Amino acid sequence: MTTEAPIASPDALHWELGGTSRIPFAVYTDQQRHQRELERFFYKGHWCYVGLEAEIPNAGDFKRSVVGERSVIMTRAADGAIHVVENVCAHRGMRFCRKRHGNQTEFVCPYHQWSYAPNGDLQGVPFRRGVRQDGKVNGGMPADFNPKDHALTKLKVAVRGGVVFASFDHEVESLEDYLGPTILQYFDRLFNGRKLTILGYNRQRIPGNWKLMQENIKDPYHPGLLHTWFVTFGLWRADNKSELRMDAHHRHAAMVSTRGSMGQASGQAAQVTQVSSFKAAMELEDKRFLDIVPEPWWQLGEQMPTAVMTTLFPSVIFQQQVNSVSTRHIQPDGHGAFDFVWTHFGFEDDTAEMTERRLRQANLFGPAGFVSADDGEVIEFSQQAFESKPQHRTLAELGGREVGETDHMVTETLIRGMYEYWRKVMEAPEPSVAKEVSP
């Protein structure tokens, strides 16, 4: 007879006060829970970022990317169509593509030379019909072997504004529904149809749980305290005009800020520069780092934000920090580390001066950036503490314990919202599997 047996799941977590304002350290430290996250957030029911169309402009171009911990290849076929296929040979399962970028008309697995078209179709199998020797045919694949049944795993693909998303789940909702109308307006503001150009990459490996980077860019509390550059030069601090927006599920968010004044604040706002990270005497040797030129596309209704940080759960951050624009791809590697890939871009109609400006301002970011170097360190040190005391919890109660949009940055509501969604998905019952038992 057959009965239903639940798939093994991680031990239940204890959430103090029942909400998400106190996050258990074990959220970041358990490998079994991490595997559950990969299945539920990266491989089912979600869209993940894989790259930009501008990275594969020509037929035959490809880029190796990642969805969760699975290697994938983004390709452009001869007809211009974009495909995303898993980087796992259908024969013996080898991860066959090692180059990050390139151009080729086919992919050949070096192990047994099986070859695939850019769309993932199997097109060549050595010795498929055997080898003739001494008047007979030796070996060969079975007579009913059909190459159509042995393509690479093909992901569902969505392209919007030059940005490419993919999903292993072919039943996933549309990308537009996945983003929701609130976040879609910020996405379309940045990716508004102009052709993108690639300016360069930064790559770093951060020894911390992947969710900590999502949290970091949903946390407006820290930039004006941790980052000397931001608070001293007024790019992001608590007295800036700002707002925080979320989708209906609270999984995606946009932190929106308009640059305020530089230097020492006064009056009621004085406390925002009464912090150790503010350096009144700090000056730039190259003043061009603050050569900020407003761009028409910044306009959003009556607003003209100088910074919009958009987090799409689970895999990507879209950054506009004054004239610097980039994508930041989160690539988990176990529960305690992730690779973080920055793609800096501009627009085809940029002047040479604007391109230079974007590149110069990109020095704020990346592994050695004036700002982002701080984030990598605090994530690493946090993970070290979590691992040493997994029974403890973090506190995210600035602005209260509820979840909601705000018109200020003195809050941790976006973090609480993300974990509200995380709990909903992670705590849902596990699908059952059939198990044979003796009568």
Instruction: Express each pLDDT in 167-212 by its tens digit.
Output: 999 999 999 999 999 999 999 999 999 999 999 999 999 999 999 9
**Nearest alpha carbon to residue 227 among 305, 152, 307:** 307
- In terms of CATH architecture, what is 180-260+285-427? Alpha-Beta Complex (3.90)
Pairwise CA distance, residues 336 & 207, whole Å: 6
Contacts of 6 (CB under 8 A, 6+ apart): 429, 430, 432
Residue 424 host element (H or E):
helix 413-426
Residue-level pLDDT at 435 = 46
Pairwise CA distance, residues 394 & 382, whole Å: 10
CB atoms within 10 A of CB 14: 10
CATH T-level fold of 48-131+141-156: Rieske Iron-sulfur Protein (2.102.10)
**Nearest alpha carbon to residue 350 among 317, 318, 325:** 325
Pairwise CA distance, residues 175 & 48, whole Å: 10
Pairwise CA distance, residues 261 & 233, whole Å: 8
**SS3 state at 108:** strand
Residue-level pLDDT at 7 = 45
**Nearest alpha carbon to residue 83 among 19, 18, 135, 155:** 155
Pairwise CA distance, residues 178 & 175, whole Å: 5
- Low-confidence residues of the chain: pLDDT under 50: 1-8, 263-264, 266, 269, 433-439
Return residue ranges of the chain for CATH 2.102.10.10: 48-131+141-156
Q: Is 40 exposed, middle or buried (0-12, 13-18, 19+ CB in 10 A)?
A: middle
**Cβ pair 93, 76 in contact under 8 A:** no
Q: Give the helix ranges, DSSP H, for 192-334.
A: 211-216, 223-226, 228-233
Residue-level pLDDT at 263 = 47
Q: What pLDDT, in 10s, does the model give residues 214-233?
A: 999 999 988 878 777 677 77
Q: How far is CA 351 from CA 172, 196, 323, 356, 387, in A?
A: 39, 13, 13, 9, 49
Give the predicted TM-score (pTM) of the model: 0.92
**Cβ pair 248, 180 in contact under 8 A:** yes
Phi, psi of 373 (to 5 degrees): -60, -35
